[in-house]
């Protein structure tokens, strides 16, 4: 099936690893179920995957151009309704067996996954599921080429510590968007550090964990003041941000 897309969603469809991971997670969920919500449905590809397993799918997309593409792409499916609306303003009236929400970004900072799911979980059945299920975030010391917050998209940087897991979030739990953590990272060589690298791993279900992909949570590089370190130095850093409020909310400082 050929999908109409916006330029951005065309890039999403070209990331075959991302696409196949979500296809596998939906296929493993399987079953013959009543209702699924596809939140931030984009071009509608995930609703298309869901169509074989649910009597009804409500696909919600705020962007008008993307929603128009989804409506055209899915017009032949009697069990899919595509709605042009902000999820936070949609009038949910029924509880779903499954919520699919791919509003993902590194550490959940620059997308609305957390505020959206905190709102919509009230319309999930008691035994319902969410895809993706969780995220795992790691952090490491780094020397960055660019001294501003940016994603790892062909830029140069050097790692100066082993990555450590600093947070995990299960989307069935209520999540506080305001995040603050004191980090302790051990330098594994001598040199200049001036930043952090955050990497997010996405747990789609119990069997599928996806590492960073070109169009799914590329590592995020965050500047720090420049500091010389020796091997085995312990560097303590405070990391703060608000999930769903964008990279402008990120704050870092040495402790």
Q: pLDDT tens digit string along 50-60?
A: 999 999 999 99
Global pTM exceeds 0.85: yes
Decide if pLDDT at 1 tops 80.
no
Q: Among the listed ranges 3-17, 69-83, 124-138, 182-196, which one has the minimum average pLDDT value?
A: 3-17
pLDDT at 215: 87
Q: Among the listed ranges 2-11, 102-111, 151-160, which one has the minimum average pLDDT value?
A: 2-11
pLDDT at 71: 97
pLDDT at 13: 85
Q: What is the largest CA-CA distance in the chain?
A: 63
pLDDT at 95: 97
pLDDT averaged over every residue in the chain: 96
Decide if pLDDT at 253 tops 80.
yes
Mean pLDDT of 198-217: 94
pLDDT category of residue 172 using cuts at 50, 70 and 90: very high
pLDDT at 3: 85
18-32, pLDDT tens digit by residue?
Answer: 999 999 999 999 888
Residue ranges and CATH numbers for the domains of the chain are 7-102 (3.40.50.150), 135-254 (2.70.160.11)
Provide the b/e sequence for 188-227 (b: ≥16 CB within 10 Å): eeeeebbbbbbbbbbbbbeebbbebeebbbbbbbbbbeee
Helix (H) and strand (E) counts in the chain: 5, 15
User: What is the full DSSP assignment across 54-116?
Assistant: EEEEEEEE--HHHHHHHHHHTTT-TTEEEEES-GGGS---S-EEEEEE----GGG-SSSHHHH
pLDDT at 134: 98
């Amino acid at each position: 099936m050929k999908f109409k897309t916006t330029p951005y969603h065309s890039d999403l469809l070209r990331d075959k690893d991302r696409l196949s991971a979500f296809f596998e997670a939906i296929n493993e969920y399987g079953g013959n179920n009543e209702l699924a919500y596809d939140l931030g449905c984009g071009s509608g590809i995930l609703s298309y995957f869901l169509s074989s397993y649910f009597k009804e799918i409500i696909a919600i997309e705020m962007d008008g151009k993307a929603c128009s593409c989804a409506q055209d792409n899915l017009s032949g499916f009697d069990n899919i309704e595509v709605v042009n609306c902000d999820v936070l303003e949609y009038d949910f009236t029924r509880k779903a067996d499954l919520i699919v929400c791919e509003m993902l970004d590194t550490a959940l900072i620059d997308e609305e996954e957390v505020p959206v799911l905190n709102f919509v979980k009230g319309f999930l059945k008691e035994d319902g599921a969410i895809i993706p299920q969780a995220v795992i975030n790691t952090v490491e010391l780094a020397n960055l080429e660019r001294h501003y917050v940016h994603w790892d998209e062909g830029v140069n940087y050097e790692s100066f510590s082993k990555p450590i897991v600093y947070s995990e979030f299960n989307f069935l739990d209520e999540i506080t968007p305001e995040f603050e953590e004191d980090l302790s990272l051990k330098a594994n060589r001598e040199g200049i550090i001036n930043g952090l690298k955050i990497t997010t791993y996405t747990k789609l279900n119990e069997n599928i964990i996806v590492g960073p992909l070109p169009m799914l949570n590329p590592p995020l590089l965050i500047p720090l003041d420049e500091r010389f370190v020796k091997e085995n130095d312990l560097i303590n850093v405070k990391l703060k941000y608000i999930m769903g409020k964008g990279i402008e909310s990120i704050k870092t400082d040495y402790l």
